[in-house]
Amino acid sequence: MPEVELRGIVKRFGKVTASRDIDLKIADGEYVTILGPSGCGKTTLIRMIAGIIEPSEGKVLIGGRDMEGVPIEERDIGYVFQNIALFPHLNALGNVSYGPVVRNKDRKEVEEIPRRYLELVKLLDRMKMFPSELSGGEQQKVSLARALASGAKILLLDEPLSALDARVRMDLRYELRRITKDLGLTVVHVTHDQEEAMTVSDRIVLMRNGRIVETNTPEMLYLEPKDLFTANFVGETNLLEGVVKEVLEDRSLVELRDGTVVEARPSKFKSGDAVVLSIRPERVHPASEGLGAVIRCITFMGTYIRISVETDSEDRVNFDVSTSEDRDYNIGDRVDLIWSKRSGILYPRPPEGVQEAIKLE
């Protein structure tokens, strides 16, 4: 059974620690994405699962077996590398056929399987082309087809869609999930694109600076982020600093810098605690009375309009209104903003400051 387990993994490159105390279990057949800003250690993690590099401390187990010293070709792994890495001397078909050939599949399968996956990535008509004759995006598609055709039970995908344009990326996301679920594969998919992570995964592992910040389903990570960094990195949010005034059974009352009192969910905080209130732009609405603000910027986004305001508490808040809404908004207008108390989440105010706590390092 190809479940993957990382136990107490630390990876050091000289002075740089790229992985810190990583514990993670990926179930057989699960689709997990590793999400996080550039340089946070995603590729390092996936390379240790593959056996391209060894951890400095801790263990990688596949199917319960300790992988120390086991080379990549014995780990039953299909890999899409971040820098693509096709065999330059083989054409597209040769690249995709590589797995089935080395696995000694019969002739019919060697004929059929690579064509099936080249068709999936819409490159059948280019199968005779060599990597040097293909665009970056086409090479990435060949690389993906090669990993799928390899017959491996574990797929490691490092930014597999990054070189593709938005439309193709969306189609392939959907196909990737469908096929890997049909084949019952265990997938570890690395991306720094939170929308991609949200749409393909059973679970998202959010990383920052070599550590796992939080692991959860896409819905829970978006709706119930346990950490301020998560709230800000997964989706967009507004962060308002304040002090808890009172915690009631059904809500918390928070006093902002200018003395305005706003509502959030009930919480474990006590009055006087310094907090940060997180509220998503789609939860903020204009009303006749609420948090006073002045409109500073209006951006047309297609299906909605993004409005940026400066509140009387000197916070920047974004909110969205539907393009079909009748009301006119103009820069310099005053608006009052409200949200339902359930949608405001409170976090302890980080001692290092909010900006430092959400920084993408």
Ligand X SMILES: Nc1ncnc2c1ncn2[C@@H]1O[C@H](COP(=O)(O)OP(=O)(O)OP(=O)(O)O)[C@@H](O)[C@H]1O
Answer yes or no whether residue 194 interacts with ligand X by CB under 6 A: no
Among 3, 10, 29, 39, binds ligand X (CB under 6 A): 39
List phi, psi (to 5°) of 24: -155, 135
Residue list 64-83, contact with ligand X (CB under 6 A): 82
Pick the stretch among 50-58, 79-87, 109-117, 330-338 that binds Mg ion (CB under 5 A).
Answer: 79-87
Query: What is the Cα–Cα distance from 341 to 253, expressed in whole angstroms?
Result: 9
SS3 content of the chain, % helix, strand, coil (to 5): 30, 35, 35
Answer yes or no whether residue 40 interacts with ligand X by CB under 6 A: yes
Q: Which does 38 bind (CB under 5 to 8 A by kind): Mg ion, ligand X, none?
A: ligand X
Shortest Å, Cβ 39 to ligand X: 4
Answer yes or no whether residue 87 interacts with ligand X by CB under 6 A: no
Shortest Å, Cβ 83 to ligand X: 10
Between 44 and 140, whose beta carbon lies closer to ligand X? Answer: 44
Burial of 102 (0-12, 13-18, 19+ CB in 10 A): exposed
For tokens 């808890």, what's the residue? 244
For every residue of 195-256, DSSP letters joined together read HHHHHH-SEEEEEETTEEEEEE-HHHHHHS-SSHHHHHHSS--EEEEEEEEEE-SS-EEEEE
Supply the angle between the helices 92-102 and 136-149 in degrees, to the nearest 10.
Answer: 20
Answer yes or no whether residue 13 interacts with ligand X by CB under 6 A: yes
Among 19, 33, 43, 238, binds Mg ion (CB under 5 A): 43
Between 22 and 307, whose beta carbon lies closer to ligand X? Answer: 22
CB 12 within 8 A of CB 2: no
CB 286 within 8 A of CB 335: yes
Among 126, 153, 192, 208, binds ligand X (CB under 6 A): 192
Between 53 and 297, whose beta carbon lies closer to Mg ion? Answer: 53
Residue ranges that bind ligand X, judged by CB under 6 A: 13, 16, 18, 36, 38-44, 82, 192
